[in-house]
A and B are shown apart, each in its own frame.
Chain A
Amino acid sequence: AAGVIQSPRHLIKEKRETATLKCYPIPRHDTVYWYQQGPGQDPQFLISFYEKMQSDKGSIPDRFSAQQFSDYHSELNMSSLELGDSALYFCASSHGGGMNTEAFFGQGTRLTVV
C-alpha cells in the first residue's frame, strides 16, 4: 500500500541557509500534519492543513512557513536556519480530518544544520 512520502530523507545545511521539505500524502488523504522531533524528544506539532487551508498551528517558528498544494502535497519552507533546527521532521496524512482517523507518518527528513 502507498505510504506517506517525504523528500529528501537527509539534508545538511549551513546556518542562515534555507531548506524546503516536501511531503506527499497517501492518495485520497486531504489532511497533512508537520511535526518536529529533536534528539530524544517526542514529536512536536508544527502546523496542519485540511483541504489546502491551514487548519491548526503549533510551535512553528516565524522563520518557517508551509503550504498545501492543489495536489495535496505539502512543503515546509525553513529560512535563516539555526543549529537548533537540526531535527527529524515528520509529515503525516489522514483522510477527512475527522477525529476518529489516525494519521499515517512518513519516514521523516533528517535535517542537520552545521
Chain B
Amino acid sequence: AQSVAQPEDQVNVAEGNPLTVKCTYSVSGNPYLFWYVQYPNRGLQFLLKYITGDNLVKGSYGFEAEFNKSQTSFHLKKPSALVSDSALYFCAVRDTVSFMNRDDKIIFGKGTRLHILP
C-alpha cells in the first residue's frame, strides 16, 4: 500500500532564507506526487505535481520540488521564503499499481507546518 511520510511536524525559516519541506514516499508502482498547501480554515490548494520527466518541478507561488527516485523523496523548496508562505503543507501520492487495481485515491502525509519568521 502506498504511504507518505513528512518527518517534520514544523519547520521554522527566517524570511528571505531558502526553505525545504521534506517528503518521502512508498508505492508499489511508479509514483505520481503532489504538494498541497492549506491556509487556516481553508481548503487544500494544489501547488505542483510530478508525473514524469524532469526531476525538478516548478509550481505556484515560486515553489518547486525535486523528485529523487533513489531516495524516494519529493522535497518541497523555495529559494527565498515569504511570511505569507506560513501555512500547512501536505505531500501526497498516487501510484500506478493501485490505480490499475482501481484504488483511486490520493494519500496524504501528516502535514508540515511552515512558520516564516519576519
User: B118 at the A/B interface (Cβ < 8 Å)?
Assistant: no
Q: A43-B44, A43-B90 are in contact. Are A102 and B49 (CB under 8 A)?
A: yes
Closest residue on chain B to residue A100 by CB atoms? B51
**Residues of B with C-beta under 8 A to A58:** 105
Contact (Cβ within 8 A) B104 A31: yes
Contact (Cβ within 8 A) A105 B43: yes
Minimum distance in angstroms from B52 CB to a CB of chain A: 8
Count of residues in A whose CB is under 8 Å from the partner chain: 25
User: A106 at the A/B interface (Cβ < 8 Å)?
Assistant: yes
**Residues of B with C-beta under 8 A to A108:** 42-43
Instruction: Give chain B interface residues in 14-56, CB to chain A under 8 Å.
Output: 32, 34, 36, 42-46, 49, 51
Q: Which residues of A contact B (CB under 8 A)?
A: 4, 31, 33, 35, 41-43, 45, 48, 50, 55-56, 58, 90, 92, 97, 99-100, 102-108
A-B pairs with beta carbons under 8 A, tally: 56
**Residues of B with C-beta under 8 A to A42:** 90, 108-111
Contact (Cβ within 8 A) A50 B104: yes
Can you pick out 22 interface pairs between chain A and chain B where the beta carbons lie within 8 Å of each other? A31-B104, A35-B108, A42-B90, A42-B109, A42-B110, A42-B111, A43-B44, A45-B105, A45-B106, A56-B104, A56-B105, A90-B43, A92-B106, A97-B104, A99-B32, A99-B51, A99-B99, A100-B49, A102-B49, A103-B46, A107-B42, A108-B42
User: Which among A42, A100, A103 has the highest number of chain B CB atoms within 10 Å?
Assistant: A42
Q: Which of B42, B46, B102, B110 contacts A104 (CB 8 A)?
A: B46
Contact (Cβ within 8 A) A103 B106: yes
Minimum distance in angstroms from A24 CB to a CB of chain B: 13
**Residues of A with C-beta under 8 A to B111:** 42
Minimum distance in angstroms from A93 CB to a CB of chain B: 12
Q: Which of B42, B49, B90, B102 contacts A55 (CB 8 A)?
A: B102
Give A7 to B102 CA distance when docked, in angstroms.
Answer: 28
**Residues of B with C-beta under 8 A to A97:** 104
